[in-house]
């Protein structure tokens, strides 16, 4: 009934496939056999996801002769931290993982980011495979090899670039996902349209109802196109020396909002959507966007039901948080802004006053 779609992240000897298909979990053991050098796997997940899909994945692995140990981290962004990462590392030691063993991340972006970092650290780096189960992780976090944990001072401050060996996407898992989480994932989907692909933006506008209803055809389309765009960008600039910064649209504001909300008030995608609104106001101020384009962007978030109303955190506190951004050079912020729809500009000349004004505009005008 569903057909298998395949993409490649082309990075020379570190290239890897992305497989997308409804119902793919049951074939995950067979797929993993393509990349595994030994039989030992550490499956990292959380209790919520493991209760839903853990047994199915474990059985698929064991059928192929893998021996599976399980490490569960608590559910929530606030646990993407040093303490939990080291607990999982302890479990890797206890399971006597070898250099040739494999970490399997089953869950959303929180599990994927932390498990990927564990794989990057254990014995100086072992292989891992991503099985993302949220929309956000299927369209973004499972691809590209950014792995990290948060620090009390800022998002993803402790991390590495460590590419997975394979990404296995079964979008039927989204049937059990909370609507709020689904919409959070849509925010990263909209990002690709704004910064890179006007045709994709048009598609999102004209299929908003089908997307909101999670119709299989539109799910497959938005996941495939998002992974395609992200793969192309990562293949050109793996370590974010230039182009890859476009994937950070809205994140400089968004990460600060997530931190001020103690990593629990806002979902990542919600913060990114709010950040993109501020970036769009700024782009309008600088004449990179017309009024019509700005309105189209705001309307698309609304049509998809993505919340964009900002929390009333103090603008100076938001600004302070933005200074932890990884794009900062010599204490100066650099920001990705939309340039029309489907294009971008990396702006280096934005003053503190301009940023505070954009934050106030986003807080007061929606």
Ligand X SMILES: NC(=O)c1ccc[n+]([C@@H]2O[C@H](COP(=O)([O-])OP(=O)(O)OC[C@H]3O[C@@H](n4cnc5c(N)ncnc54)[C@H](O)[C@@H]3O)[C@@H](O)[C@H]2O)c1
Ligand Y SMILES: O=C(O)C(=O)C[C@@H](O)[C@H](O)[C@H](O)COP(=O)(O)O
164 touches ligand X (CB under 6 A): no
Query: C-beta of 166: minimal distance to ligand X in Å?
Result: 16
- Cβ distance to ligand X smaller for residue 222 or 294: 222
75 labeled part of a ligand binding site: yes
Q: Which of residues 64-83 bind ligand X (CB under 6 A)?
A: 75, 77, 80
Consecutive H or E run containing 282: helix 268-285
x/- string (CB under 6 A) for ligand X, residues 172-201?
-x--xx---x--x-----------------
133 touches ligand X (CB under 6 A): yes
Under a CB-based contact definition with an 8 Å cutoff, are residues 335 and 285 in contact?
no
According to DSSP, residue 175 is labeled G
127 touches ligand X (CB under 6 A): no
112 labeled part of a ligand binding site: yes
- Cβ distance to ligand X smaller for residue 34 or 176: 176
Under a CB-based contact definition with an 8 Å cutoff, are residues 248 and 327 in contact?
yes
Under a CB-based contact definition with an 8 Å cutoff, are residues 119 and 126 in contact?
yes
Q: Is residue 255 among the annotated active site residues?
A: yes
Query: In the bound complex, which residue of the shown chain has the CB atom lying closest to ligand Y?
Result: 156
Query: C-beta of 237: minimal distance to ligand Y in Å?
Result: 9
Consecutive H or E run containing 286: none
Q: Could you say which of 83, 124, 331, 364 is catalytic?
A: 124
Q: Which does 326 bind (CB under 5 to 8 A by kind): ligand Y, ligand X, none?
A: ligand Y
Query: In the bound complex, which residue of the shown chain has the CB atom lying closest to ligand X?
Result: 109
Torsion angle, alpha carbons of 158, 160, 164, 168, to 10? 30
49 touches ligand X (CB under 6 A): yes
109 labeled part of a ligand binding site: yes
301: tokens are 């978030």
Query: C-beta of 65: minimal distance to ligand X in Å?
Result: 27
Under a CB-based contact definition with an 8 Å cutoff, are residues 169 and 17 in contact?
no
Residue appearing with tokens 């370590």: 239
Q: Which does 251 bind (CB under 5 to 8 A by kind): ligand X, ligand Y, none?
A: ligand Y
Chain-centre distance of CA 286, in angstroms?
A: 28
- Of the candidates 300, 293, 304, the one whose C-alpha atom is nearest the C-alpha of residue 341 is 293
163: tokens are 């590419």
Q: Is residue 196 among the annotated active site residues?
A: no
Q: Cα separation of 6 and 17, whole Å?
A: 7
Q: Which does 52 bind (CB under 5 to 8 A by kind): ligand X, ligand Y, none?
A: ligand X
- Cβ distance to ligand Y smaller for residue 251 or 267: 251
174 labeled part of a ligand binding site: yes
> Hey, is 84 helix, strand or coil?
helix
According to DSSP, residue 26 is labeled G
331 labeled part of a ligand binding site: no
x/- string (CB under 6 A) for ligand X, residues 94-113?
-------------xxxxx-x
Q: Which does 244 bind (CB under 5 to 8 A by kind): ligand Y, ligand X, none?
A: ligand Y
Query: C-beta of 159: minimal distance to ligand X in Å?
Result: 8
Under a CB-based contact definition with an 8 Å cutoff, are residues 171 and 219 in contact?
yes
Give how many residues touch ligand X by CB under 6 A.
28
Q: Is residue 162 among the annotated active site residues?
A: no
125 labeled part of a ligand binding site: no
In this structure, the number of other CB atoms found within 10 A of the CB of residue 69 comes to: 16
Q: Cα separation of 356 and 95, whole Å?
A: 50
Q: How far is CA 300 from CA 70, 105, 198, 247, in A?
A: 41, 32, 13, 19
> Where would I find the H helices in 176-290?
179-196, 198-206, 208-212, 216-236, 251-260, 268-285
Q: Could you say which of 240, 258, 270, 293 is catalytic?
A: 240
366 labeled part of a ligand binding site: no
- Tell which one of 127, 140, 270, 325 touches ligand X (CB under 6 A): 140
Burial class of 203 by CB neighbour count within 10 A (0 to 12, 13 to 18, 19+)? middle
For the chain, what is the radius of gyration of the CA atoms?
A: 20
- Tell me the catalytic residues: 124, 146, 188, 230, 240, 244, 248, 251, 255, 268
Residues that bind ligand X (CB under 6 A): 46, 48-49, 52, 75, 77, 80, 107-111, 113, 133-134, 136-137, 140-141, 144, 146, 156, 173, 176-177, 181, 184, 268
Binding residues for NAD(+): 75-80, 109-113, 133-134, 146, 155, 173-176
């Amino acid at each position: 009934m569903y057909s298998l779609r395949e993409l490649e992240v082309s990075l020379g000897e570190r290239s890897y496939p992305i497989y997308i298909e409804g119902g793919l979990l049951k074939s995950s053991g067979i797929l993993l056999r393509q990349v595994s050098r030994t039989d030992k796997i550490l499956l990292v997940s959380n209790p919520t996801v493991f209760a839903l899909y853990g047994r199915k994945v474990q059985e698929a692995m064991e059928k192929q002769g893998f021996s599976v140990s399980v490490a569960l981290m608590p559910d929530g962004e606030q646990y993407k931290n040093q303490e939990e990462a080291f607990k999982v590392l302890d479990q890797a030691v206890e399971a006597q993982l070898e250099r040739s063993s494999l970490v399997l991340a089953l869950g959303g972006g929180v599990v994927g980011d932390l498990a990927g970092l564990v794989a990057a650290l254990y014995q100086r780096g072992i292989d891992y495979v991503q099985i993302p189960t949220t929309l956000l992780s299927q369209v973004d976090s499972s691809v590209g090899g950014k792995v990290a944990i948060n620090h009390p001072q800022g998002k993803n401050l402790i991390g590495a670039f460590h590419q997975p060996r394979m990404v296995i996407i079964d979008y039927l898992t989204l049937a059990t996902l909370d609507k709020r989480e689904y919409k959070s994932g849509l925010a990263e989907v909209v990002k690709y349209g704004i910064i890179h692909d006007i045709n994709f933006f048009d598609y999102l506008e004209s299929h908003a109802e089908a997307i909101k209803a999670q119709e299989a055809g539109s799910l497959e389309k938005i996941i495939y196109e998002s992974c395609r765009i992200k793969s192309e960008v990562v293949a050109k600039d793996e370590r974010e020396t230039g182009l890859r910064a476009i994937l950070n649209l809205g994140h400089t504001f968004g990460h600060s909002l997530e931190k001020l909300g103690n990593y629990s008030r806002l979902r990542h995608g919600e913060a990114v959507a709010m950040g993109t609104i501020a970036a769009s106001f700024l782009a309008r101020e600088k004449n990179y966007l017309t009024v019509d384009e700005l309105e189209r962007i705001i309307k698309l978030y609304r049509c998809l039901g993505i919340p964009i109303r900002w929390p009333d955190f103090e603008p100076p506190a938001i600004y302070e948080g933005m200074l932890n951004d990884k794009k900062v050079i010599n204490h100066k912020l650099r920001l990705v802004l939309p340039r029309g729809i489907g294009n971008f500009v990396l702006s280096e000349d934005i003053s503190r006053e301009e940023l505070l004004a954009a934050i106030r505009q986003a807080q007061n005008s929606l």
